[in-house]
Structure 1
Amino acid sequence: MPDVPVTHSRVDVDGIHTFYRQAGPPEAPVVLLPHGYPSSSFQYRNLMPALGDRWRLIAPDLPGFGYTRADDFAYTFDAYAGFLRRFVDTLELTRYTIYLQDYGSQFGLRLAMSAPERVAALVIQNGDIYEDEHGPKYAPLKKMWADPSPQALADVAANVSEAGFRAEFLGEVPETIADRISPDLWTLSWAQVGRPPGPQNLVRLLADQRTTVDWFPRQQAYLRDHQPPTLIVWGPHDGYMPEGAARAYLRDLPDAELHLLGGGHWLLETHLAEVVALMRDFLGRVRW
């Protein structure tokens, strides 16, 4: 497996001093890596050097996560989708494959919908857009979305903590492979967002997640109408997004490649080599 250096930079996006990681030749085809909740570009730290020999991988820390501070940011899904679009334009990226995982799948899909001609392909990994396949762990969130009372908000806010982050990262992964998931994920994430107003901002974002459901039909229509080449790599041990959430994509993308691996929501921690091999084969066949 290649071991290409990863560089660390900052760029101004709408006045936000934005941190991002990058690997690969400047002129190589671009793979854009928006991260999920409650992580940062750190989640891609191992994927990037493994693919950077042939592709240019770019992973920003979105506002309020990682090393990108933004206390005045709106902390809504609309705001993040707009920010990712402006980040891409600031770096003058005009053609790319997008890695869609967790919250990053929402921001990345809206980016794709805003400029379909720029999308070379999609890699989907535990990022769901089919409400009928939501897993049981959505229950407390849906309760809050339906009735955002102070108590419902408080119940969700209690999980915005280092212990809550640990539970998010370990999830439902079998004990036999759980020790592959680095504690750096939750320790670093909490160290970066745990000081006020970080936790309050994240509660606002969790509450706003209810708006994503209204986008699902539009996102499904985008996939159905444009048929971007798509690789689906999925960890089925996921209380939010079980196996059915992966298979649902085949309703709109019948030609997509689907691979169910043995991990969970944070597949790059437990099955990196398998994902890298699948991505190398897939990206090598993409028409850039």
Structure 2
Amino acid sequence: MLSTSIPTTAIADSQLIAPDESLTRSRHRVENVDGINIAYREAGDPANETIVLLHGFPTSSHMFRDLIPVLAEDYHVLAPDYPGYGRSDAPALADFDYSFATFAELMNGFLEAKGEDRYALYLMDYGAPVGFRVFAENPDRVTGFVIQNGNAYEEGLREFWDPLKTYWANPTSENGNALRPTFEYEVTQWQYSHGVPEHSLELVSPDDAIHAQFGMDRPGNRDIQLQMFLDYGTNVPLYADWQKLFREHQPPALVVWGVGDHIFPVEGASPYARDLDTIETHLLDTGHFALETHRDFIAAEIIDFIASEVIE
């Protein structure tokens, strides 16, 4: 049999094809913040305006994999994973304070470590309370918001949230166990497909639910997710504070919202206009994970929005 192997010592440097070094390609990196390894994706020229992408449940920065290279043509992009999600550390529940306050503190620490003191925030699902807490800590650093199915108003907490409200009010094992079916693969698949028109379902990658479920199924992770469900209740009393900060600081906002989302329904989109003077809203014919079906539209709107409303 003819062997095609070539000893590496016989290969001249001039014969090797160098890796793709384009800045639009994501680099997969890790930053240690307060002893926790925060995995993140980075692309684009750091000299350009920075956009920080904050992911939702039950995914990670993986949800932005197709958006990042488009934005990186014009902007510097950072997309971190929270602890317990994606490739970031996932310490045991007994050893770590899994809360939105902790996540925001770590995201602030991450941005400090990266030397970022001016950035726009893309907020989706869990990314909204994390990002609004980041904003509350340093409002003058936030140049604008891209809000995609992320809530800051009680109008956006409808029937999906009733079992969680029960758990917030009475965090018993029985009420917690009633939420555990949410962590099953069938529900994860539902999150990606519900509200998406039949003709658009083939745009939703089956890999999304598999990737998210892999993280959910790691030992101890479902207990972490249940703790985050419980802690979500700490965000609601802060809504009025965030709204006050919106009115005081007036960051420009681009709202892009999948109207078929049962988790964060469209009623949560319009109230932002009550408090923000510079706001542009687009309602999309899709569900919770709008980037799966509307990546090109959302990317184009972000690029125009940052150029026209953020960059001075």
Instruction: Report the TM-score range of the alignment, normalised by the length of the smaller protein.
Output: over 0.9
1:250 pairs, out of 273, 288, 292, with 273
Q: Which runs of 5+ in 2 are unaligned?
A: 1-21
Deviates more, 1:170-179 or 1:236-245: 170-179
Q: Is the 8 A contact 2:54 2:123 kept in 1?
A: yes
Instruction: Report the secondary structure of 1:121's partner residue.
Output: strand
Aligned pair 1:287/2:306, yes or no? no
Q: Residues of 2 paired with 1:52 and 1:144: CA distance?
A: 41
Aligned pair 1:6/2:26, yes or no? yes
Q: CA deviation at 1:144?
A: 1.6
Q: Is the 8 A contact 2:51 2:78 kept in 1?
A: yes
Q: Residues of 2 paired with 1:272 and 1:188: CA distance?
A: 19
Any residues of structure 2 matched to 1:72-87 within 5 Å, and which?
A: 72-87=95-110
1:108 pairs, out of 126, 131, 136, with 131
Aligned pair 1:183/2:206, yes or no? yes
Please name the residue that 1:51 is paired with. 71
Any residues of structure 2 matched to 1:56-75 within 5 Å, and which?
A: 56-71=76-91, 72-75=95-98
Q: Residues of 1 paired with 2:257 and 2:103: CA distance?
A: 24
Matched AA of 2:266: E
Q: Residues of 2 paired with 1:73 and 1:125: CA distance?
A: 29
Instruction: Report the secondary structure of 2:186's partner residue.
Output: helix
Report the count of equivalent residues.
287
1:31 pairs, out of 38, 46, 51, with 51
Q: Residues of 2 paired with 1:174 and 1:144: CA distance?
A: 32
Q: Following superposition, which runs of at least 4 residues in structure 1 exceed 4 angstroms of deviation?
A: none
Q: Is the 8 A contact 2:104 2:134 kept in 1?
A: yes
Aligned pair 1:125/2:145, yes or no? no
Q: Which runs of 5+ in 1 are unaligned?
A: none
Q: CA deviation at 1:204?
A: 0.6
Q: Give me the TM-score of the superposition, normalised by structure 1.
A: 0.95
Please name the residue that 2:3 is paired with. none
Q: CA deviation at 1:110?
A: 1.0
Instruction: Report the secondary structure of 1:53's partner residue.
Output: coil
Q: Is the 8 A contact 1:11 1:19 kept in 2?
A: yes
Matched AA of 1:234: W
Q: Is the 8 A contact 2:56 2:124 kept in 1?
A: yes
Q: CA deviation at 1:200?
A: 0.6
Q: Residues of 2 paired with 1:253 and 1:19: CA distance?
A: 32
Aligned pair 1:276/2:299, yes or no? yes
Q: Is the 8 A contact 2:136 2:245 kept in 1?
A: yes
Q: Residues of 2 paired with 1:133 and 1:103: CA distance?
A: 13
Q: Is the 8 A contact 1:112 1:119 kept in 2?
A: yes
Aligned pair 1:212/2:232, yes or no? no
Query: Please, what is the CA RMSD of the aligned residues?
Result: 1.6
Q: CA deviation at 1:255?
A: 2.9
Q: CA deviation at 1:217?
A: 0.6
2:181 pairs, out of 158, 183, 195, with 158
Q: CA deviation at 1:158?
A: 2.0
Instruction: Report the secondary structure of 1:33's partner residue.
Output: strand
Deviates more, 1:22-31 or 1:187-196: 187-196
Structure 1 residues 241 and 193, CA, compared in 2 at 3 Å: closer, same or farther?
closer
Q: Is the 8 A contact 1:63 1:73 kept in 2?
A: no
2:254 pairs, out of 231, 247, 256, with 231
Matched AA of 2:31: V
Please name the residue that 1:16 is paired with. 36
Instruction: Report the secondary structure of 1:201's partner residue.
Output: helix
Aligned pair 1:42/2:62, yes or no? yes
Deviates more, 1:96-105 or 1:242-251: 242-251
Q: Give me the TM-score of the superposition, normalised by structure 2.
A: 0.88
Q: Residues of 2 paired with 1:65 and 1:56: CA distance?
A: 23
| Percent identity over paired residues | 35
Matched AA of 1:29: E
- For residues 252-284 of structure 1, give each alpha carbon's deviation from its aligned partner in whole angstroms, at most 9, with x where no partner exists: 114311111111211110111110111111111
Q: Is the 8 A contact 2:49 2:311 kept in 1?
A: no
